Amino acid sequence: MHIVLHAGVHATDEDRLIKCMLKNNEAFGKLGVAVPGPSRYRRLLRDTLHAMSEGAPAPDAREVLLDAILEGDPPDRMILSNDNFFSVPKLAVGKGVFYPGAEVKLARLRALFPHDQIELCLALRNPATFLPAVFALAPDTDLLEFMNGSDPLNLRWSEMLGRIRHAVPDIEITVWCNEDTPLIWAHLIREMAGIAPNTKIIGGFDLLSEIMSPAGMKRFRAYLKAHPVMTEIQKRRVIAAFLDKFALDEEIVEEVDLPGWTDELITQVTELYEEDIFVIQRLPGVELIVP
């Protein structure tokens, strides 16, 4: 079985991806793709992985889990999503790195499903906006306590991905920049479901409708109707053009308001993030989806 795990990161899609997948559950099921409801596996998987800190899983652990998660025969592909898979927001930063326990959780998942193909999917976000957003999700009221001694100028997503690759080298990794998600939304749905690029899906423009004005969406859909044959690249260019004209500023402009964070620091962190993305593009075993 091909198991696709969408593990966030925090403060990226807020479960929009899995909700869109669930809209297509019936159609995907006919293609051998299962999208179980999150309530069937999130707590169960969390408790199982936690118990594995005391020892190896039982020989029948995989079958027991699948019986609880799935209905009917095992599919060819199963999609799971949980932005708390690595940790709760409070522990998203520590020891000077992003998600210090990520590789441990994935190693345990690999032990649970030793003969299955596992693919990790992650949206990455500019630390200049990620850190304030995940801090807002955490119970901490003190930024220094939340950062746990980490310097925002030294945090790298490539470091986290490198740790994961070293710990579980046979797990496939697919990542994208959260800032690009509106342009590649439908592609992400199809990519995670493992279906053909031209397969019709429900909700392919769900995210776009949240950040574009109603008038812009109306004109956008009219344009698509008038131009029914377009490549994926052409669609992304059209989306970018419509967003340039009809985007809702309050939905796309991200204000950073953290004590001690200057405009200069925010610029530095952003530039380092952009450099880090180039590093990630060259990481072996990591696929970066770009518009």
Would you state the pLDDT for residue 250? 73
Would you state the pLDDT for residue 125? 97
The answer as to whether 247 is a domain residue is no
3-state SS, residue 176: strand
Would you state the pLDDT for residue 141? 76
**Per DSSP, what are the bridge partners of residue 3?**
78, 118
Q: Give me Rg for the CA atoms of the chain.
A: 20
Would you state the pLDDT for residue 233? 85
Count of domains in the chain?
1
3-state SS, residue 99: coil
Q: Could you report the per-residue pLDDT of 162-212, keeping only the tens digit for each?
A: 999 999 999 999 999 999 999 999 999 999 999 998 899 999 988 898 899
The answer as to whether 88 is a domain residue is yes
The answer as to whether 50 is a domain residue is yes
Instruction: For residue 68, give its domain range.
Output: 2-203+260-289
**Residue length of the chain:** 291
Task: For residue 9, give the DSSP letter.
Answer: -
How far, in Å, CA of 250 to CA of 29, rounded?
37
The answer as to whether 58 is a domain residue is yes
* DSSP string covering 205-259: THHHHHHB-HHHHHHHHHHHHH-----HHHHHHHHHHHHHHHB-HHHH------T
The answer as to whether 229 is a domain residue is no
Task: For residue 91, give the DSSP letter.
Answer: G
- Give me the CATH number covering residue 150: 3.40.50
Would you state the pLDDT for residue 258? 84
Would you state the pLDDT for residue 171? 97
Which stretches of the chain drop beneath a pLDDT of 70? Answer: none
**Per DSSP, what are the bridge partners of residue 73?**
none
Is the bond into 175 cis (omega within 30 degrees of 0)? no
Distance of CA 116 to the CA centre of its chain: 21
Would you state the pLDDT for residue 39? 97
Would you state the pLDDT for residue 229? 86
* CB neighbour list of residue 212: distance below 8 Å, 6 or more residues apart: 220, 242, 243, 246, 247, 248
How far, in Å, CA of 178 to CA of 130, rounded?
10
Distance of CA 71 to the CA centre of its chain: 25
The answer as to whether 153 is a domain residue is yes
How far, in Å, CA of 234 to CA of 218, rounded?
19
Would you state the pLDDT for residue 190? 95
The answer as to whether 253 is a domain residue is no
The answer as to whether 131 is a domain residue is yes
Would you state the pLDDT for residue 31? 95
Burial group, residue 265, by CB count within 10 angstroms (0-12, 13-18, 19+): middle
How far, in Å, CA of 286 to CA of 276, rounded?
13
